[in-house]
Structure 1
Amino acid sequence: MEALLLTLAVVATMANAVVYGTDVFSALVQRPAMAHVDDAALTSAMGQIHRFGDRRMPVPGVFGLVATVGTAAVAGFEGKTTPSVASGVAALALVVWLAIYNKVSAPVNKELTGAALDCRVAPDARGLQRTWDSVINVRVLLQAVALGGMCVALAAS
């Protein structure tokens, strides 16, 4: 069981780090860069980014959430309180992240992707981007909590 616990914790940490790093890049680089382009460039660039991101990012996201929940379950079964609680907190942070993504980010992604694929400027492209930007910092924070929780779970395992 020890090997399973460590394997799940490592997979969860690595997969969640991919999503965390993507969100950090978006907050630190993408957001300010997109503020300096016109609406056509914003629609095209962000639409294409979301086109590929929404197809590819679920893979590490699902692996991360499943492995995080698995870590909490195995640690709990083994009676390891610290890793169980830490990975449980991480799982909760990921579920909240997913809810915010589905409620706020995904609809914006869909609109910008559709406009980019149709080679048109999204109506209110700037407003759509502001909506997306409005949750990126909280998404980063939730991913940081999840990644920190998994680091604690690993260290205490």
Structure 2
Amino acid sequence: MGKGFSTQELRILQSNFPKLLSDPYFKRTSKETPEYNCISWAMVRSDRWTQCPAGMKLPQFDGVTWWPPEAENGLDINCLIDAFEKTGHIICNDGVPEIGYRKVALYCDHNNHWTHAARLLSNGFWTSKLGAWIDIQHGDPYSIEGPAYGHVYCFMKYPML
């Protein structure tokens, strides 16, 4: 894969996501935007940058920053799980599509610091926002594991009423 990416972009992808370029379902699905990040994207919110601690401003981003009220602040993966729980998500066993639910995968590094969230699409593929860069589609949640995001820690689901 890699169609439509510059040589420099391909190098970045290869070094950060070594499995991604061999994913036959990998493709870019948006232009670059700093308006939201992976956490917002997984929560289906593209109108804000979701980060912790709440209100912390990152000067390179223009998006509105937000963290769920009452959610625990911190880098530990349990803080991210808490943030998703405060928005109605519950822990589940896997990332397999389930009627009536939207699923997400949460990622952490070897220190159990959260790094990323990806969302299962209705077509069975996964979607991720790569920081302030682009949105992508990938075939499964494991194809973006690697140096940048670490590994899938758990799956959560949100009831679609």
Instruction: Tell me the TM-score range normalised by the shorter chain.
Output: under 0.3
Whichever of the two has the greater Rg, that structure is 1
Greater relative contact order (CA < 8 Å, ≥ 6 in sequence): 1
With the length of structure 1 as denominator, give the TM-score of the two structures.
Answer: 0.22
More strand per residue:
2
More helix per residue:
1
